[in-house]
Amino acid sequence: MVYKHQSNGALICRCSALVSNLSKRNEEENGIFLETVRRLGVLPNGQNEPARSICIIDSRSKSTAEKIASQKYVDYFFCDLPEFEVLRENFLNFIDTFKKLLPNNTTEVAYGLSSTSFGLHLSSFVNREFEVQTVRGNSEISFVMSDPNHFSQQFKWLQGIQYLLRSSLFTAQKVHLENVSILVQCFSGYDQSAQISSLTQILLDPYYRTVKGLCALIEKEWCSFGFGFKDRSGEYIKKSQSKFDVTAPFFLQFFDCVYQLIHQFPSAFEFSDDLLVFFLDHSTSNLFGNFLGNSEKERHVRFEMREKTESIWSYIIRNKKVFTNANYERSEFPLWPVIEFNILSIWARYYCRWIPSSHPSFMRRAVWRDRW
């Protein structure tokens, strides 16, 4: 269990994929487990009435995931999120597409999308058709829609962002509006389940939209749950030929989704996207011990994190002003984002950060500075 709704007692729980119907024993154990989760979701006023039902949020597609035996009060939602190999390839294709828009002498930097424009709005996408417009001296790329029902391979990354936001929004609405307890499952137990669980809590709980709250969320959902930072981190720009390569940008995809929420609700977050960039930078910098290795045990026993490294949480709290959003206004209400594809925005602050010509001008008072 990772979250309990304060008003209705509905739960959010996480696990790896439940065992399908290989035997009657598995079926019985699954039933006991699901009923336990359902009955834990009691109302906070002391009533014993359990949550009405439980919904299994499966990160996989309906075609690849097997339902467990039909259980009373149990529903399913299939997210259709890509596994790590596909996610990595989607990101590489996403990067390759924008290389076509670059001048020949542009330098590319790992983890960064080079671009000659600022503020890329995703009104539509095609495989090759695009036009560059100039608005008040700033280059802006708009894509021409030739087939609204066609998503090219180059933009599967953004489609994944949409699907992840859709799954998180569905989960939040189930918990908040329908008093339904949630079991989020993915094959590994720490990839997509961490993404969906974290985003859902950000949508529901204003605490996780604060600087301290986001730190607590990452520690709880990613570090303590054993997300494989060592295995999943890598230089995504370079395509690996090794069949043992398990690198995949799950952490980056999560923060891209958080950016989309900040973009839609600019006053709802205490932090700016500077904090998101900071996290991504230091998830691989090894300057802090919180993201070393693949587990808590490895960090504390093998790397002696507490004795030999500084905590990233302490650094962030000490330098909180650097990451603070000046327009922040705390709201106790949940966030219900629009998840249509044409609403998505390319995260220029991260992908275009190394190209000076893509930065906002001083006149716009929005200069990018990595003050850490």
Return the closest-CA partner of residue 347 out of 193, 126, 146, 119: 119
Do 130 and 141 meet the contact criterion of CB atoms below 8 Å apart?
yes
**Which ranges constitute the DSSP H helices of the chain?**
24-40, 84-99, 156-178, 192-204, 211-218, 229-232, 250-264, 273-282, 296-297, 305-308, 312-318, 320-323, 348-351
Buried b (16+ CB within 10 A) or exposed e, 249-267: bbbbbbbbbbbbbbebeee
Residue 186: active-site member: yes
Buried b (16+ CB within 10 A) or exposed e, 82-111: bbbeebbbbbbebbebbeebeeeeeeeeeb
CA distance 226 to 127: 38
Query: Which helix or strand (DSSP H or E) is residue 12 part of?
Result: strand 11-16
Do 271 and 325 meet the contact criterion of CB atoms below 8 Å apart?
yes
**DSSP letter (8 states) at residue 121:** B
CA distance 170 to 159: 16
CA distance 259 to 277: 10
CA distance 51 to 258: 29
Provide the sign of the torsion angle of the four alpha carbons 46, 48, 51, 56, taken in this order.
Answer: positive
Query: What is the distance of C-alpha 110 from the center of its chain?
Result: 20
* From 13, 55, 186, 223, active-site residue: 186
CA distance 199 to 258: 7
CA distance 182 to 170: 11
Residues classed as catalytic: 186
